[in-house]
Amino acid sequence: MMQPIQKFFPKLTTPAKVVIVTHQKPDGDAMGSSLGLYHFLIQFSHQVTVISPTNWAGFLNWMPACDKVINFEQKEAICKQIIAEADIIFCLDFNVLYRTKHVAPEIEKASAIKILIDHHQEPQTEAFDFGISDTTKSSTCEMVYDFIVNSGYQHTINIDIATCLYTGTMTDTGSFRFPSTTASVHTMVAYFKSIGLQHTPIHEHIYDNFLESRLRFIGFVLSNRMEVLYEYNTAIMYVYKQDLQKYNIKTGDTEGLVNYLLTIEGIKLAAIVIDRNEERKWSFRSKGNFDVNTFARQHFEGGGHANAAGGRSDETVDETVQRFKQILKQYEQTLQ
Ligand code: 5GP
Ligand code: MN
């Protein structure tokens, strides 16, 4: 059974072989929390390796030590060995092991102490020795900050740690606008500012660093691949493989696209499905009480948070969109 993370604190400073793993296609919070923890742990002479199950968005590459992150799909043999030999494995920003794709069986097999730090609903606690799961937290980055502060090491927070943790908190809170943005979040950011963090370049790295083709792609999708279903206060987008190819769309280029749908007055549920290689990947966002975590879990093999979740389907884009529309009928009342 997963023990409270405080019970792990006494082991924190004993040099060990540490692996940090996050979910596949890591976003700002996954990468930020992993690298923030990396910059914290290396101060105790741990041997620390950050492993990403897959590649990640190019707009994260500027992050301090991002060049040290190993892509499991590119260096499978080395990663398997590092995981097998690890003393401690930190699992950040995911609730269920399958979110680490092909890394999951390696984590399961490993003899290391396994630690979860995460803010998603319904964590697979039996898979971890120590951990903290708090769905009220804005981001895993904020939880890594709490981990550092609560273990008594706030004074070790340097600009690299602050930069990484700010990044993920910023991306997971929609630039500090979602309800998860508590006083604690702003207190943390105030601390980062007090030690000299410059936040403006971080926003520019993440949001103002794309190619022209991505903006034209968004224009194309908004004009040609969007439907507003006013009777359900729902808007959807669907992106075919040929659309991605035409605009040379890379990992991360489609992130945030779903949020445009929520800018339409009255929309409570937004959904986008993108034709990825192995599957059709859904993203769901909602405003107010509509719980997309449960929705994604029940209908699209997914999950996440109440207002932001993801899912998948083996159907074609058109089939899964049709099914989504059918499913919506049962939520007509809830979405009013
Ligand atoms: P996104 O739509 O940005 O990919 O994901 C939204 C939220 O849902 C994120 O917190 C992400 O970690 C989570 N999520 C996305 N896809 C899945 C999935 O297939 N399963 C689960 N359990 N969570 C997901
Ligand atoms: Mn997160």
Note whether residue 336 is domain-resident: no
Place of tokens 């997914």: 302
User: Shortest CA distance to 169 belongs to which of 133, 148, 139, 149?
Assistant: 139
pTM of the shown model: 0.94
Q: Is 77 exposed, middle or buried (0-12, 13-18, 19+ CB in 10 A)?
A: exposed
Same domain, 277 and 309: yes
Give the CATH number for residue 71: 3.90.1640.10
Confidence (pLDDT) at 38: 98
Q: Residue with the nearest Cα to atom 11 of ligand 1?
A: 304
Q: Indicate the burial class of 294 (C-beta count within 10 angstroms; 0-12, 13-18, 19 or more).
A: middle
Q: Which atom of ligand 1 is nearest to the CA of 27?
A: 3
Does 1 score more than 90 pLDDT? no
Task: Tell how far the Cα of 321 is from the centroid of ligand 2, in angstroms.
Answer: 26
Residue 169 CA: which ligand is closest? 2
Domain membership of residue 276 as a residue range: 212-331
**36 in contact with ligand 1, CB cutoff 6 A:** no
User: Which residue has the CA at smallest separation from atom 15 of ligand 1?
Assistant: 310
Number of domains in the chain: 2
pLDDT of res. 312: 97
Binned at pLDDT 50, 70 and 90, residue 56 comes out as very high
Task: State pLDDT tens for residues 294-319.
Answer: 999 999 999 999 999 999 999 999 99
Cβ 61 vs Cβ 55: under 8 Å: no
Given 153, 185, 207, the domain boundary residue is 207
Q: Are 271 and 138 contained in the same domain?
A: no
**CA 149 → CA 142, 146, 324, distances in Å?**
10, 5, 44
Q: Are residues 34 and 146 in the same domain?
A: yes
DSSP class per residue in 210-232: --HHHHHHHHHHHHHSEEEEGGG
Q: What CATH number does the domain containing 253 carry?
A: 3.10.310.30
- Tens of pLDDT, residues 231-240: 999 999 999 9
**Which of 174, 207, 240 is at the close of a domain?**
207
